Amino acid sequence: MDLTIRPRRLRGSESIRRLCRETRMSPDSLIYPIFVDETLTGKRPIPSLAGQYHYGLDCVNEAVEECLAHGVGRCILFGIPREKDPVGSSAWAEHGVIQEAVRAIKAAHPDFYVITDVCLCEYTDHGHCGVLRGCDVDNDATLELIARTALSHAQAGADMVAPSDMMDGRVAAIRARLDANGLSHVPILSYAAKYASAFYGPFRAAAGSAPSCGDRKGYQMDPHNRKEALKECALDVEEGADLLMVKPALPYLDIIREVAGAFRLPLCAYQVSGEYAMIQSAAAAGLIDEHRVMCESAVSIFRAGANMLITYYARELADAMKKGEIG
Structural element, H or E, at residue 129: none
In the chain the first and final C-alpha atoms are separated, in Å, by 35
- Residue 177 assigned to a binding site: no
- Residue 312 assigned to a binding site: yes
- Residue 204 assigned to a binding site: yes
- Residue 119 assigned to a binding site: yes
Instruction: Tell me, yes or no, if 106 is annotated catalytic.
Output: no
Catalytic hit among 84, 247, 322, 323: 247
Instruction: Tell me, yes or no, if 84 is annotated catalytic.
Output: no
- Residue 74 assigned to a binding site: no
Give the list of residues 6+ apart from residue 272 with CB closer than 8 angstroms, or none.
197, 199, 200, 203, 247, 248, 249
Cα 71 to chain centroid distance, Å, stands at: 18
> How far apart are alpha carbons 137 and 123 in whole angstroms?
14
DSSP secondary structure letters along 36-53: EETT-SSEEE-TTSTT-E
- Residue 66 assigned to a binding site: no
> How far apart are alpha carbons 56 and 58 in whole angstroms?
5
DSSP secondary structure letters along 55-90: E-TTTHHHHHHHHHHHT--EEEEEEE-S--BTT-GG
In the structure, how many helices (H) and strands (E) does the chain have? 11, 12
Of 116, 84, 119, 81, nearest to 102 by C-alpha is 116
Q: Do 66 and 73 meet the contact criterion of CB atoms below 8 Å apart?
A: no
Catalytic hit among 43, 84, 106, 194: 194
**Which residue ranges are tagged as binding site for 5-aminolevulinate?**
204, 216, 273, 312
- State the binding site for Zn(2+): 119, 121, 129
Return the active site residues: 194, 247
Binding-site residues from annotation for Mg(2+) = 232
